[in-house]
Amino acid sequence: MENHEHHKNKKMDHSKMDHSKMKNKKENHSKMDHSNHDGNAPMGMAGHDHHKMMIADFKKRFWVTLVLTIPILIFSPMIQGFFGYEFLLPGNPYILFALSTIVYFYGGWPFLKGIVSEIKSGAPGMMTLISMAITVAYVYSSATVFGLEGVDFFWELATLIAIMLIGHWIEMKSVLGASKALQLLVSMMPAEAHRVKGDTIEDISLEDLLIDDIILVKPGEKVPADGIIVEGSSYLNESMLTGESKPVKKEEKDKVIGGSVNGNGSIKVKVEHTGKDSYLNKVITMVEEAQKTKSKMQNLSDRAAKWLTYIALGIGFGTLAVWLLLGFPFVYALERMVTVMVIACPHALGLAIPLVVAISTSVSAQNGLLIRNRTAFEESRKISVLLFDKTGTLTKGDFGVTRIESVNESYSTEEILRLSSALEQSSEHPIAVGIIKKVREDKIDIPKLENFNAITGKGVEADVEGKQVKVVSPGFLRDEKIEIPKDAFSNAAETVVFVLIDGQLVGYIALADEIRPESAEAIKIFKKNNIKVLMATGDNEITAKAVSDKLGLDGYYAEVLPHQKVELVKELQGKGEFVAMTGDGVNDAPALAQANVGIAVGSGTDVAAETADIILVNSNPQDIANLILFGKATYNKMIQNLIWATGYNVVAIPLAAGVLYSSGFVLGPAVGAVLMSLSTIIVAINAQLLKRKIGKK
């Protein structure tokens, strides 16, 4: 009986689990330090508001700087000589100095503040390079006003700061889109709930809602909290929470998720979770945690950005020295150095990965893919073998009783069903649900039980009306050397459970589980991507083979207990396979932890599947195909951004240093600033394109 250890109310005793592997496998959820880089993706809702303020601040500083840059350009002798006009006011150098001082301190303040933060943290980066470039330009130009021989640099200083500000402003507006999906999740909860008190209904705020309160949800309203329907039925739209586009019919005793939208009927709901315990809040927390988590790719990007800063500083001062040694004027050598430092800002590199992380995590959450381990998600592209649990994943998990057979004249088929139903009444396992459904259809009263016990991976037992009743898998009979009736298994894809009373086999119940229509399509996608698909099930050989043959799997393992799935995963890994295990977040916990990528499926509102790297809200195997393809697309975007961000520097830094001087091509600081800002915006836009990739085959 597949994973029939089901009366544990879907809770794991984590104290008994071996977490040693998980400690190595799970990411260190250390928080990303964005203090030095205000342009990075916002990570929380507080960060979201801060980000908006930063955008407004950069916008204001840009417009003020632009207004001041215009007279600086007009009064600059170099610009006048370039355009062939003369317009010098009395004290012209001092006017330029005054205007440029305002531009330097007001427009350049975010960068000057940034260098202090970067030096304090011992991580010089983008702000260090920009600050050094504008400070050197300002100090040298100011010195020329007060007696130093040379040409001022004010017009280039002003245009440089203006372009840097507009680059940051545009890029930050683009980055803001990364948190939009998370903001949408936050805004999904209504502000109020209609609480039912006897015959009256009162409107209360969500903060005042308590567990076990009864709330009324009218047609078209959002459900205020997780709960169970106690009255009425309706179709609910859960697309923003689960990725399921079709409205789902919900009736009495069905669970509803806070944030879903009620359709055509009024329903009364008994509140199960509120506030931080709600499904939506768990999803938001998980998304935020995943966005904060640094994967291997993120750490690689951080190291590259750090080294780029050191290289830029080295090349910058080296450029200054070389041009001076070649006998060029100090102002020319200085211009080359400033251009190198501006061009080499690791802004695009610093943004390349965090922005993709923020977008992929929040977009995944909207489509029912909850990422707990960033590295595992990015490495899903390496998956070579996918090991499926059968029930509820490849199949619907919606069992219906097809046969009840008695092998003992003392017990009728109805009596076998009645006694076995006592053991299954409180379970959510698909087999148990199928048996209870049959009992209700036949209007059979369910007897009470005593001394209930789960037989690990093999079934359940209890005392019912003075008899010891067991409902067990074929594996249990084999272990106990009990002969299995010859006609117990048909050639259909049936699951068979056996009923023992006082140690004697009295009969069996066969249930059929329909194969999901999406399974075949998903398996085609896996095969197209060179992924072998295997199935490990607790079901018998005949059932396993029937499902495997129908779906065209690469292999199957029948009558496998939960702990044996770990051995299967290890065996496959020993053959050099990169294994993804999909299964129940509770029963298959050890195998999920052992796998290279652990995917918990069918968790529904139980998002706390501790050992899984990725949780799928739905059990649809097509979601796993989407997950793997989206993981590949995410990794590709990261690589594209890294190639662009580093490749741009490889080409642009030598040009900034003046390698093509002999050909008459010289890159000015302002043009360098435009290129640097453009590279950052290209990286941001490329990351945003990732949103189109989810669900693409």
Q: Which residues contact 226 (CB under 8 A, 6 or more apart)?
A: 255, 256, 257, 258, 271, 272, 273, 274, 278, 279, 605
Active site residue 212: no
In angstroms, the CA 130 to CA 113 distance is 11
The upper half-sphere exposure of residue 94, i.e. CA atoms within 13 Å in the direction of its Cβ, equals: 3
Quote the distance between the C-alpha of residue 129 and its chain's center: 33
Q: How far apart are CA 539 and CA 493, in angstroms?
A: 9
Per-position b or e across 283-297, b if 16+ CB within 10 A of its CB: bbebbbbbbbbbbeb
Number of CB atoms found within 10 A of residue 3's CB = 25
Q: Contacts by 638-642 with C-beta closer than 8 Å and gap 24+?
A: 638/297, 638/301, 638/352, 638/353, 638/356, 638/378, 640/686, 641/348, 641/351, 641/352, 641/353, 641/355, 641/356, 641/683, 641/686, 641/687, 642/300, 642/301, 642/304, 642/349, 642/352, 642/353
Amino acid at site 175: V
How close are the terminal C-alpha atoms of the chain, in Å?
34
SS (H, E, C) 253-311: CCEECCCCEECCCCEEEEEEECHHHCHHHHHHHHHHHHHHCCCHHHHHHHHHHHHHHHH
Which one is catalytic: 152, 213, 389, 539?
A: 389
Residue closest to 288 by CA, chosen among 401, 374, 399: 374
Strand order in the sheet with 226-231: 200-205, 192-197, 214-217, 267-273, 226-231, 255-256
CB atoms within 10 A of CB 519: 23
Hey, which residues are catalytic here? Answer: 389
